Chains A and B, each alone.
Chain A
Amino acid sequence: MVISSFEDFRKKQSLYQKSLEKQYKKVIVCGGTGCVANGSIKIFNELKRLIEEKGILADVDLEKEHEGIGMKKSGCHGFCEKGPLVRIEPEKYLYVQVKVEDCEEIVNETLINNRPIERLMYHFNGKVYKTQESIPFYEKQTRLVLEHCGHIDAESVQEYIANGGYSALVKALEEMTPEEVCDEILHSRLRGRGGGGYPTGNKWKQVSSFKSDMKYVVCNGDEGDPGAFMDRSIMEGDPHSVIEGMIIAAYATGAKEGYIYVRAEYPLAVERLTKAIEEARKIGLLGKNILGTDLSFDIHINKGAGAFVCGEGSALMASIEGERGMPRVKAKRTVEEGLWGKPTVMNNVETFANVRKIIMNGSDWYRRYGTEKSPGTKAFALTGNVKNTGLIEVPMGATLREIIFDIGGGITGDKKFKAVQIGGPSGGCLTEEHLDMPLDFDSLTGVGAMIGSGGMVVMDEDTCMVSVARFFMNFTQNESCGKCIPCREGTKRMLQILDKIIEGKGEMRDLDLLEELADTITNTSLCGLGKTAANPVVSSLKYFRDEYIAHVVDKRCPTRTCSKLRVIRINPDLCRGCSKCSRICPVGAIEGKIKEPFKIVENKCIKCGSCIESCAFSAIEEV
């Protein structure tokens, strides 16, 4: 059924809202990748089965008004550490780490008898948190973009509409000219969430200023940073918000076709986006004469084959065009000559998801969030040695302390905080001295890191910063497209030097060489990947130079992470000569006579540490 006018749309919206109200209870099972991997689909099916067994409707079709329990698969709730998650409305209970065995109890107790199940609720420091909103992880967040994630059925366009979805599109088409839309976005100071931080409004204005028979809107969903999953969660949890943003961009710029470039490793995102596009097309929100207006726009999905560099705009376009995913140099910019040489708006997923909020509430409202130069919020994927890992959203300008200690609950095992890597392999590390620095695009660049797409890896005192730098350099070297010389050859040689250092073969001049190569790569590489490839090394050299020196000069890894630098000794005073260690040693590196102290043969030892754990007398120690 096609919605062919604004009036039609409003009628539908009000019908869906009424139907939604008839659902006297809503059970929102997290259908994000993390929870799905932990078995949430089974839980969903079991809950639905049990409810229907009781003769209660558990449908989400909003075309018909009927009483019942709304069973929904939502996008990522964010609190991945505690998944699978089940939210019950209207009580706002959040049940964590739910198992299939718990389903019967949930149905009988909570759904039928309205009683909370305390044991399934989040416990922290002896306190039970009844509602989701009261949990510190959520309490400290500001969810604009992730508003729907975990709250609505991610697979239903009806629910999206009932929750105010596509109203921004209607507003733009009905009340605003394309110029006004561009101006509103420009005035909101929305900046590209993909990492570059370029003002989105500028981009749109430029594209709309070029005359062309064809223009494109491209959504960059090729999120590839290790530990980053913000865009995935938005595509999975609120696909229509991305589509709505893209349609508004098309209206504002005069584009006729759109592409969403998603990694094939995000099958759930691909599935939900595909379904969302089909549903939007079915009701006339995509295709010819959208909502009965002159606007015609459709979206294709392009699956990426998993090359990190395809997140770089020009490589992404090359990939869509069927070429090898390599960045291109061009004299003219994407806004003028983008996809297939036509003017192109390219924004990332999170940027598009912001659009409807700005159009709906106005740019002044939007600028109340965040900082003067970086308004709005930013989603981060919080991972690493932090208690509450997951997907979070905070206003720009939030501090690391708020994110890691308030939302994240502090460091796992209450260890000491050491550093946080922001922006993945393109970013840098921040240390204790930056804990109270307000985070935004400019502040991070100022200290040698970058927001990137928003991956945030927290590291505790046991993390070896040289190894971390090596990890990211290895990633970049593998993911370099190989086109330009400084990135291809330079990262290879930097990686070699880092390998040398963690193997204890480094020399002091290697540190200079690292810095010289970093300087060359940063300043001469073709694309963003190369220009930022050295950041993890440069920033760790800046803040943790002592650790490098310990590896190079003392041949010692202060955190005992680098296995080749371990020194393992048998204390002859404690060794009883039982021979257990020599039997356990996988390489036969421990020799001795029974009842006499054993010895480790240095050149055979692979520093695996098995002997340390095996010794009953604690005679083997790492020094």
Chain B
Amino acid sequence: MNDVLLAALGDIFRIQNLLTVVIGTVLGMIFGALPGFSAVMGVAVLIPITFGMHPTAGLILLGGVYCGAIYGGSITAVLLKTPGTDANALTAIDGFEMTKQGKAGEALRESAIASWWGGIFSAFCLLFFAPPLSQIGLRFGPPENFMLSIFGMSIIAMVCAEDLLKGLISGVFGLLLGTVGVDPIVGSLRYTFNNVGLYNGISLVPSLIGLFSIAQLMVMTAERKKSIVLVDTSTIKGKFRWKELIGYPMVYLRSSIIGTIVGIIPGAGTTIGAFIGYNEGKRFSKHPELWGKGSREAVASSEAANNAVTGGSLIPTLTLGIPGNAVTAVLLGGLMMLGLTPGYTLFTERASVTYPFILSLFLANTVFLIVGVTMAHRFATISKTPSYILIPIISCFCTMGAYALNVNIIDVYMMFIFGFIGFIMNKFNFSAVPIILGMILGPIADKALSQTRVIAKKTNLIVFMFSRPICLVLLIITILTLFYPLLRDTFIKLRASRGAKGGHA
């Protein structure tokens, strides 16, 4: 492994890869700093650009966008109380209070420093835990792969805890879209309507761009605001001091551990990471009374946790092909488009691509630290870009991106149609993430189920599958994940009723 790491280290410090990290991270920061534009959208829009690149550079770019966007969301959260991404919602509370107190510069630096700690810690975990975990995948045959896909789909329960039924319907819709094209076993055509462009199935990337980018542009067009937000950067004062890097060591460590663990749990996501990090930070704080009133420690808690999710969420994505959250679901699509299959081979045969990518996350985090402590406020001014410029330019970029995939105009039409679908889904509170999960995991489940049928011969399929221990374990985890919203609600009710009783006493 040492040789691989050394080679990867040499690879990552090539000038073109270094430039890719910087460009990816800065682009991510821009997407993160624009409220309404998410990390998911950033990765979705930029995937097509990676087709012309070497897979290593392509992955490095996407990794940089991911890290940069999660951090970038904190800039507008601090300055405008408008979190760029959901994950920065808590940063907005204390960060904006600090801004009101004339400490915007301090808050911006703290969010960059804490994000860096979180990102670096989780990248270390990814580097050391992912390779051994990927070996589990070697024990997987078709029945296990089928159950793994089902488990992957159960992430919907976490992503769409607010309305599980709608999430499941979206997921099933995605599964159905995944069946379009040539059947993997008998080779017959399904839902192609004699259209040659559909023989290879519905392309993932145009669908992603449509669902996440075009749909969002439609929402923004509806309101036609002059610019997304107005920024006053005149209150940003103060210079970076080196000792700020270790301002809250215990907070950084605690939130980083929390964020990484939350990231590993499929579907939990950066927002949950930030909330738990914030909550635990407050519990252990010497001054909890200052939280919510402009506490720098609070900014550190939520930011370290949400950025720690980045590396953590990549662990199940790279080892088992189960995305940790919405961004990694999209990233997984990009990974597959670049011809990389998650699992053991990613750390053996394709190690020359995977390790430089993992190492690039350290650099991406360092890039946003440097940019963040020196010129974060400049990114806030991006929000001033008039929407009459931003919307046409991004739609143009989306169109070219969708076309670039297969140099096929049908992909662009698909993007357009999926834009409408995404908009309608958004309007009626159906999440688009399960569609992507369904489209990625559906074909895997389809193939694995057909193969399992062949292997099982005359044995009952259910008996055959659940006589295998890994399938059984995956089934149990799937059921637990599916019932997570119910368990969570029950737990909250119980705690509330106990609290009420305590109050009466």
Q: Are A and B bound to each other?
A: no
Binding site for B on A (CB under 8 A): none
Chain B positions near chain A (C-beta within 8 angstroms): none
